[in-house]
């Protein structure tokens, strides 16, 4: 006879559903539909979602009461009563913060991710004062937009952080400390603060603000000082055990290659990141490299032979790494974020050719981020939206 189990037991997350669960699910669905398809009427929401018009009415009533959406203009139809279009509440806004090794930007955006105002943060010489400068810049923006009501602050940064934990735990390419930035901003502004890796954030952003409906599998590759990837799979971000999933950039590509910031040798990012591109230029031309990678891209665009060659070499390595990603995850789409996309017509085909080289299965679609240089900023907005209503 078995002894009584009486398990001591706790689930990490609540797994059981209550009778409030459908409302949560449908509420998120409806809000997302309004967000992506605004302006849209209740009747169309019903058609699109598969829910009844009556149900939609109740859910929308909630969303309006909580000031997420507004009744907007009225439409015209050949027959029948005119629909009232719903739209996101323009009064509500989000602070987006893009922390980048070479430049940090802060912005105000609306719930739809549209950038209302944007400033580059002048960082002081003393890196310890960086966080204070950022907070000052945020507070200035909030003060300048007193007509808005702010919902939160989104931070996208090059590094990994366990979503539970406060501080980033892996940021080899950032030269100033961001420890406790999250709680400091929260204390100063009183707003909810969401922080995540740039590539993760960009993946969310593509899903939230992109036009591909129901995208389920997508990998974003952020090519900057290093290379980070954000994996969106089964309709969710793949975070891994400590939030460390997506470090394709630190997969060994060259045996006994260059020493990487992570301590290993020959990582993909040592041969395919912006730094690698600059190094190739130096090696090939014998001249000093341009001040930054954007300048190198400009050089290539003006047909500088060495610049083109250097970026082609970088593109080849990029493509080879993308082939790894395609084999490993078979996403339907790979999106590139970074300065290299500024010259996509020159190097996109090179990257894609290498990606498709000898591929044993259908290669994923490859495209640059639809956002260009604001991709990282908008991604920070997605972080807040994702927590607020998803």
Choose the contact partner of 286 out of DNA, a second copy, none; CB within 5 to 8 A by kind.
none
Chain residues binding DNA by CB under 7 A are 4, 6, 16-20, 22-23, 25-27, 41-44, 50-55, 57-61, 74, 76-84
Site for a second copy in 228-287 (CB under 8 A): 231, 233-234, 236, 238-248, 250-252, 262-265
- Residue among 339, 268, 337, 335 at smallest CA distance from 299: 339
- Residue among 261, 207, 267, 262 at smallest CA distance from 231: 207
Got the DSSP string for 224-248?
SSSEEEEEEETTEE---TTS-TTGG
How many of the chain's residues bind a second copy (CB under 8 A)?
A: 83
In angstroms, give the least distance from the CB of 181 to a second copy: 21
Give yes or no for residue 53 binding a second copy (CB under 8 A): no
Bridge partners (DSSP) of residue 120 are 105
Measured from the CB atom, the residue of 50 and 214 that comes closer to DNA is: 50
Give the number of other CB atoms < 10 A from CB of residue 181.
23
User: Strands, E, within 33-157: which ranges?
Assistant: 40-41, 69-74, 84-88, 92-98, 104-110, 115-121, 149-157
- Residue among 161, 206, 216 at smallest CA distance from 183: 161
Choose the contact partner of 57 out of DNA, a second copy, none; CB within 5 to 8 A by kind.
DNA
Q: Quick one: which segment of 36-44, 138-146, 278-286, 371-379 binds a second copy (CB under 8 A)?
A: 36-44
Give yes or no for residue 330 binding a second copy (CB under 8 A): yes
In angstroms, give the least distance from the CB of 328 to DNA: 37
Label the pairing between strands 149-157 and 192-197.
parallel
Give yes or no for residue 211 binding a second copy (CB under 8 A): no
Tokens of 157: 């940064």
Measured from the CB atom, the residue of 14 and 128 that comes closer to DNA is: 14
Choose the contact partner of 354 out of DNA, a second copy, none; CB within 5 to 8 A by kind.
none
In angstroms, give the least distance from the CB of 88 to DNA: 16
């Amino acid at each position: 006879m078995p002894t009584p189990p009486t398990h001591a037991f706790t689930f990490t997350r609540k797994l059981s559903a209550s009778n409030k669960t459908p409302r949560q699910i449908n509420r998120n669905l409806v809000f997302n539909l309004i967000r992506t398809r605004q302006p849209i009427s209740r009747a169309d929401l019903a058609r699109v979602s598969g829910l009844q018009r009556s149900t939609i009415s109740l859910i929308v009533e909630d969303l309006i009461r909580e000031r997420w959406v507004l009744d907007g203009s009225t439409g015209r139809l050949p027959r029948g009563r005119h629909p009232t279009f719903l739209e996101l509440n323009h009064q509500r806004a989000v602070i987006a913060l893009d922390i980048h090794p070479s430049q940090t930007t802060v912005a105000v955006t609306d719930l739809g991710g549209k950038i209302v105002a944007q400033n580059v943060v002048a960082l002081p010489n003393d890196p310890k004062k960086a966080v204070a400068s950022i907070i000052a810049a945020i507070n200035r923006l909030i003060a300048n937009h007193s007509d808005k009501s702010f919902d939160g602050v989104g931070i996208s940064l090059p590094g990994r952080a366990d979503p539970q934990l406060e501080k980033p735990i892996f940021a080899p390419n950032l030269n100033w400390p961001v420890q406790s930035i999250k709680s400091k901003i929260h204390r100063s502004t009183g707003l909810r603060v969401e922080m995540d890796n740039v590539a993760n954030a960009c993946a969310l952003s593509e899903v939230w603000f992109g036009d591909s409906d129901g995208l389920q599998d997508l990998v974003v590759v952020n090519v900057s000082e290093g290379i980070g990837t954000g994996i969106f799979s089964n309709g969710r971000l793949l975070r891994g055990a400590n939030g460390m999933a997506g470090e394709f950039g630190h997969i060994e590509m060259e045996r006994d290659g260059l020493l990487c910031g992570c301590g290993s040798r020959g990582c993909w990012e040592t041969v395919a990141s912006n730094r690698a591109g600059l190094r190739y230029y130096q090696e090939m031309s014998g001249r000093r490299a341009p001040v930054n990678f954007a300048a190198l891209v400009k050089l290539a665009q003006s047909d500088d032979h060495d610049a083109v060659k250097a970026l082609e070499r970088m593109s080849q390595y990029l493509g080879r790494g993308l082939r790894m990603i395609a084999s490993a995850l078979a996403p339907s789409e790979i999106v590139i974020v970074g300065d290299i996309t500024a010259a996509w017509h020159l190097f996109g085909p090179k990257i894609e050719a290498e990606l498709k080289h000898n591929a044993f299965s259908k290669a994923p679609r490859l495209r640059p981020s639809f956002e260009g240089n604001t991709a990282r900023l908008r991604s920070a907005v997605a972080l807040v939206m994702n927590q607020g209503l998803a």
